[in-house]
């Protein structure tokens, strides 16, 4: 499966990618030096809820998610980024980043769909 994902990513990188969009709230938060961000990751096929997949396809999707997370974290080596949440069933990563990590994420459109703030909720 890892090979399949790599092949897919290779195919995608043949296209021209725009810069990864970043939600305005992230930049606001980064004004204080660091920001909690949720990074939506690109996986080979579109994300499908697990219940709509066969057992094997669900496992493959999890593997693709894991690979996309790993590829993103590898690409962030050398800049300060801390993993906060790493879900197994949905293609996202939650990171604590500084400006240099965000800059690098924005430059990874082949891996990252978009970046938005890890917003908070209150009891209601």
Partner 1 sequence: MSVRLHSIVALAALTIMAGTEVGFAQSSPTVPQIVRDRIASSGRTRVIVELAATSLAPDGRRSAEQMRRQRTEIAAQRSRLRARLGQGAHRFVHEFANVPFVALEIDASSLAELEAAGSPAVRVFEDRLLAPTLAQSVPLIEADLAHQIGLNGSGNVVAVVDSGVDRTHPFLAPRVVAEACFASAESGDGGDCPNGQATEIGPGAAESCAFAPLACGHGTHVAGIAAGSGPEFSGVAPNASLIAVQVFHASMQCFFLLEEFPCPRAYESDIVAGLEYVMSLRNQFNIAAVNMSLGGTAYDSACDAESPLFSAIINNLKSVGIATIAASGNDGLTDGIAEPACIAAAISVGATTDDDEVAWFSNASADLDLLAPGTGINSSMPGGGFEELDGTSMAAPHVAGAWAIYKQAHPGATVDEALASFVSTGTPIADSRGGPTKPRIRVGAAVGIESPVPVIDSISPSTVNAFASAFTLRVNGSGFIGSSKVSLNGQPQRTTFVNDTTLTVTIASGQLPASAAAVTVAVSTPPPGGGTSNAATLNVVVPALEVSSTMVDAGDPVTLTLVDAPGGAEDWVAVSAVGSANTSYVTFVAFANAPSGSWTVNMPQTPGTYEFRLYLDYGYGIAAVSAPVVVAATEPEPEPEPEPAPVATLTVSTTTVAPGAPVTVALANAPGNPTDWLGVSAVGSANTSYVAFVAFANVASGSWTVNMPQTPGTYEFRLYLDYGYGIAAVSAPVVVQ
**Of 8, 27, 36, 79, the one binding partner 1 by CB under 8 A:** 36
Among 10-18, 46-54, 66-74, 102-110, the segment contacting partner 1 (CB under 8 A): 46-54
**73 in contact with partner 1 (CB under 8 A):** no
**Of 45, 49, 57, 80, the one binding partner 1 by CB under 8 A:** 49
**76 in contact with partner 1 (CB under 8 A):** no
Task: Indicate the residue among 14 and 108 with the shorter CB distance to partner 1.
Answer: 108
- Asked whether 69 and 76 are in contact (CB, 8 A), the reply is no
**40 in contact with partner 1 (CB under 8 A):** yes
Interatomic CA distance for residues 5 and 92, integer angstroms: 16
- Closest contact distance (angstroms) between CB of 92 and partner 1 is 5
Region class of 33: left (phi > 0), else alpha (psi between -120 and 50), else beta: left
Burial of 26 (0-12, 13-18, 19+ CB in 10 A): buried
**90 in contact with partner 1 (CB under 8 A):** yes
Burial of 84 (0-12, 13-18, 19+ CB in 10 A): middle
Size, binding site for partner 1 by CB under 8 A: 31
């Amino acid at each position: 499966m890892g090979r399949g994902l790599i092949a897919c990513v290779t195919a995608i990188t043949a296209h021209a990618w725009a810069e990864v969009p970043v939600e305005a709230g992230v930049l606001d938060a980064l004004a204080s030096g660091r920001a909690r961000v949720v990074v939506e990751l690109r996986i080979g096929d579109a994300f499908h809820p697990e219940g709509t997949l066969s057992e094997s396809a669900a496992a493959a999707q999890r593997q693709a998610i894991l690979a996309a997370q790993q590829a993103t974290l590898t690409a962030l080596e050398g800049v300060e980024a801390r993993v906060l949440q790493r879900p197994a069933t949905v293609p996202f990563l939650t990171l604590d980043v500084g400006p240099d990590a965000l800059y690098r994420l924005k430059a990874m459109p082949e891996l990252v769909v978009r970046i938005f703030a890890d917003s908070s909720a209150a009891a209601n």
